[in-house]
Amino acid sequence: MYRGLKLIDEDKNVEIVEFNDRYQAPLDGGYRDLQLTLRVQGELVCELQLTTKYMLFIKESSGHRVFEIKRQLIADVAANSEPQCRETLHWAGKDAQAVLKEPKKPLLHIAASQGNSRMVKLFLDNNADVNLKEAMGNGHACAAWALISAGAEQDVRDAKEQTPLLLGLLRQRVYPENEAVARCVSILSQRLGLKELQDAKKQFSQVVKKRLKNSSELVSAAYDDNVQKVVEHLRTWANPNSATDDGKHALHRALAQGHIAVARQLLTYKADIWLEENNKSALDVALEVAAEKPGSLEVLVDLHEQYQAWAHLPVFGKLVSCSRLYSQR
* pLDDT of res. 306: 46
d(CA 162, CA 166): 6
**Where are any strands of DSSP class E within 11-103?**
14-21, 34-40, 44-50
Work out the burial of residue 244: count CB atoms within 10 Å of its CB; fewer than 13 is exposed, 13-18 middle, 19 or more buried: middle
Task: Kindly tell me if the per-residue pLDDT of 7 is higher than 50.
Answer: yes
**Statement to judge: residues 74 and 188 lie in one domain:** yes
What does the mean pLDDT of the chain come to? 80
pLDDT in tens, 71-91: 888 889 889 899 999 999 999
The span from the CA of 289 to the CA of 279, in Å, is 16
Q: Which domain holds residue 316?
A: 216-327
Residue 226: band (very low, low, confident or very high) from pLDDT cuts 50, 70, 90: very high
Same domain, 129 and 231: no
Which is nearest to 283 in space by CA: 312, 263, 262, 261? 263
Residues 164 and 251 grouped into a single domain: no
Task: Collect all residues with Cβ–Cβ distance below 8 Å to 33 and sequence separation of at least 6.
Answer: 22, 23, 49, 50, 51, 55
Question: Which pLDDT score, from 0 to 100, does residue 238 have?
Answer: 96
190 with 153, same domain: the answer is: yes
> CATH no. for residue 314?
1.25.40.20
pLDDT more than 70, % of the chain: 78
- Same domain membership, residue 316 and residue 234: yes
Whole-angstrom distance, CA of residue 69 vs CA of residue 96: 7
Q: Is the pLDDT of residue 309 over 50?
A: no
Residues 263-267: what's their mean pLDDT?
93
* pLDDT tens, residue by residue, 98-145: 888 776 667 877 787 777 878 888 887 888 766 666 666 666 666 666
pLDDT digits (tens, 9 = 90+) for 31-44: 788 989 999 888 88
Burial of 7 (0-12, 13-18, 19+ CB in 10 A): exposed
Alpha-carbon torsion, ordered 161, 210, 213, 208, to 10 deg? 70
What are phi and psi for residue 8, nearest 5 degrees?
Answer: -65, -40
Does pLDDT of 253 surpass 90?
yes
Whether 76 and 88 have beta carbons less than 8 Å apart is answered as yes
The closest alpha carbon to 48, from 4, 102, 107, belongs to 4
For residue 252, is pLDDT > 90?
yes
Q: What is the pLDDT of residue 146?
A: 64
How large is the angle between the packed helices 82-92 and 62-78, nearest 10 degrees? 170
When pLDDT is cut at 50, 70 and 90, the band that residue 231 belongs to is very high
3-class secondary-structure state, position 285? helix
Task: Name the band, by pLDDT with cuts 50, 70 and 90, for residue 329.
Answer: very low
* Higher per-residue confidence, 303 vs 40: 40
**Do 52 and 70 fall into the same domain?**
no
Instruction: Write out the H or E segment, with its range, that includes residue 70.
Output: helix 62-78
Residues 113 and 201 in one domain: yes
Residue 219 has a pLDDT of 95
The full DSSP string for 219-233 is HHHHHTT-HHHHHHH
Residue 208 has pLDDT above 80, yes or no: yes
In a 3-state reduction of DSSP, which class is residue 13?
coil
Q: Last residue of a domain, which of 210, 228, 243?
A: 210
Torsion of CA 265, 271, 277, 279, to 10 degrees: 130
94 secondary structure, DSSP code:
G
Encode pLDDT of 152-206 as tens digits: 666 666 667 777 788 888 888 998 888 877 887 887 788 777 888 888 889 899 9
Domain boundary among 210, 231, 246: 210
Tell which of 35, 59, 83 closes a domain: 59
Q: Are residues 91 and 22 in the same domain?
A: no
Residue 324 predicted with pLDDT over 70: no
Half-sphere exposure of 305 (CA within 13 A, CB side): 5
Cα–Cα separations (whole angstroms), residue 263 to 174, 230, 317: 17, 10, 20
Same structural domain, 115 and 235: no
pLDDT for the residue 328: 46
Terminal C-alpha separation, the chain: 84
pLDDT band at 311 (very low <50, low <70, confident <90, very high): very low
Greatest mean pLDDT among 44-53, 159-168, 229-238, 317-326 lies in 229-238
Strand partners, 20: 35
